[in-house]
Amino acid sequence: MPSHAGTPMSELAGGESDPDGRAMIEARDVTRVYRRPRTSLTRPGEAVHALKGVSLTVRRGERFGVVGESGSGKSTLLRLLCALDQPTSGSIRFEGRELTGLPERRLRFLRHSLQVVFQDPMSSLDPRMKVRDLVAEPLVALGEPVGGRVAELLDEVGLPASAAGHYPHQFSGGQRQRIAIARALAPRPKVLVADEPVSALDVSVRGQILNLLADLVDELGLTLVFVSHDLSVVRHVCETVAVMNDGEIVETGPVDDVWAGPRHPYTRALLRAVPTLEGLL
Ligand SMILES: Nc1ncnc2c1ncn2[C@@H]1O[C@H](COP(=O)(O)OP(=O)(O)OP(=O)(O)O)[C@@H](O)[C@H]1O
Ligand SMILES: [Mg+2]
């Protein structure tokens, strides 16, 4: 059981889509249409249907993977689950609370409870800030005391306390991703969301960062939403997977079942195409 599960069961109970009251995140019939920039004065830009009616439930304490090839809509879905973008239609709930349509000032509870680790730590970490300030920043933004938390977090992600006084460029890619993870954990979130957190890293350190993530999720009782184009990576850290193709979820279930017996032709093709992590983990 997660150490900091929050919402009273009464708030969640009774909803048809969440009969056992364990839903952390629920998406229902979510669509997202982008407009490409117009190329003509008389015609609007072309519509891109990045999500075409996606529904999913991520349960408390679940490690939920989203897999699919480039352009399938994984990052779009993730941004919507984090309320960094709004759907064109559909509903997204976090612990039973509707997120769609909420202005940023009413999303404070979410910024506290859900944190994101992005693909490329070089672009997600401000190069002008020292590690101490980068890790403390989410706490400062939420008006929370920093105290000894930075040293504690650096220790949790396997970095020495002395790292606090250095800048991101003084670290390797893997170490930078450790810094990004420490920063994400700072406000003690319930949910960690990671978008391809190892694909920008050197192959030799991918396994270490995946193991770190899996250990932290376990120790802290976090719910994890994890995106990758590689099902072998998802299988290493997640228990459930949703397979995306062209803006739709085509298959979902326990990751070991999907790995051993993929039902959808797209999943079978994906499995044949992915490189494997064997030997690296
Ligand atoms: N801001 C945008 N404006 C227009 N189209 C966009 C925008 N963002 C994404 N798209 C399009 O939406 C579709 C889904 O993109 P998305 O980035 O969600 O895919 P992805 O699965 O994360 O891909 P990748 O594995 O390459 O990161 C793609 O066709 C993409 O070109
Ligand atoms: Mg993406």
Task: For residue range 265-274, list pLDDT tens digits in order.
Answer: 999 988 887 6
What are the φ and ψ backbone dihedral angles of 273, each rounded to 5 degrees?
-85, -25
> What's the pLDDT score for residue 281?
52
- Look up the CATH number of domain 21-273: 3.40.50.300
Considering only CA atoms, which residue is closest to atom 6 of ligand 1?
Answer: 34
Considering only CA atoms, which residue is closest to atom 11 of ligand 1?
Answer: 50
- What is the DSSP secondary-structure string of 243-264? EEETTEEEEEEEHHHHHHS--S
Pocket test for ligand 1, best of 35, 39, 48, 228 (most atoms within 8 A of CB): 48
> What's the pLDDT score for residue 242?
97
Per-residue pLDDT for 184 more than 50? yes
> What's the pLDDT score for residue 8?
38
Domain coordinates of the chain in residue numbers? 21-273
114 close to 191: Cβ distance less than 8 angstroms: yes
> What's the pLDDT score for residue 14?
39
Query: For residue 84, how far is its CA from the centre of ligand 1 (angstroms)?
Result: 14
Which of 15-19, 196-200, 232-236 has the lowest average pLDDT?
A: 15-19
Report the nearest atom of ligand 1 relative to the CA of 244.
21
Query: For residue 2, how far is its CA from the centre of ligand 2 (angstroms)?
Result: 28
Distances (CA, A) of 206 to 178, 211, 233, 241: 11, 9, 9, 20
Mean pLDDT of 6-35: 71
Choose among 116, 98, 96: nearest CA to 30. Answer: 98
Query: For residue 203, how far is its CA from the centre of ligand 1 (angstroms)?
Result: 24
- The whole-chain average pLDDT of the chain stands at 89
> What's the pLDDT score for residue 276?
56
Query: For residue 281, how far is its CA from the centre of ligand 2 (angstroms)?
Result: 23
Which residues sit with their C-beta closer than 6 Å to ligand 1? 34, 36, 48, 50, 68, 70-76, 229
> What's the pLDDT score for residue 7?
37
Q: Is the dihedral of CA 21, 59, 257, 264 positive or negative?
A: positive
Confidence of residue 107 (pLDDT cuts 50, 70, 90): very high
Mean pLDDT of 111-139: 92
Specify the pairing of strand 47-59 against strand 63-67.
unpaired
> What's the pLDDT score for residue 205?
93
Per-residue pLDDT for 12 more than 50? no
Considering only CA atoms, which residue is closest to atom 27 of ligand 1?
Answer: 70
Confidence of residue 263 (pLDDT cuts 50, 70, 90): very high
What residues are paired with 35 via a beta bridge?
A: 47
> What's the pLDDT score for residue 56?
97
> What's the pLDDT score for residue 277?
52
Neighbours of ion ligand 2 (CB under 5 A): 75
Task: Give SS3 for 54.
Answer: strand
Separation of alpha carbons 155 and 160, rounded Å: 6
More confident: 65 or 45: 65
Place of tokens 């939420």: 142
Residue type, 35: R
> What's the pLDDT score for residue 38?
82
Query: For residue 247, how far is its CA from the centre of ligand 1 (angstroms)?
Result: 9
189 close to 113: Cβ distance less than 8 angstroms: yes
Choose among 190, 204, 66, 177: nearest CA to 119. Answer: 177
Each residue of 146-156: pLDDT tens digit?
A: 989 999 999 99
What are the φ and ψ backbone dihedral angles of 63, each rounded to 5 degrees?
-110, 105
Tokens standing for residue 196: 């391809």
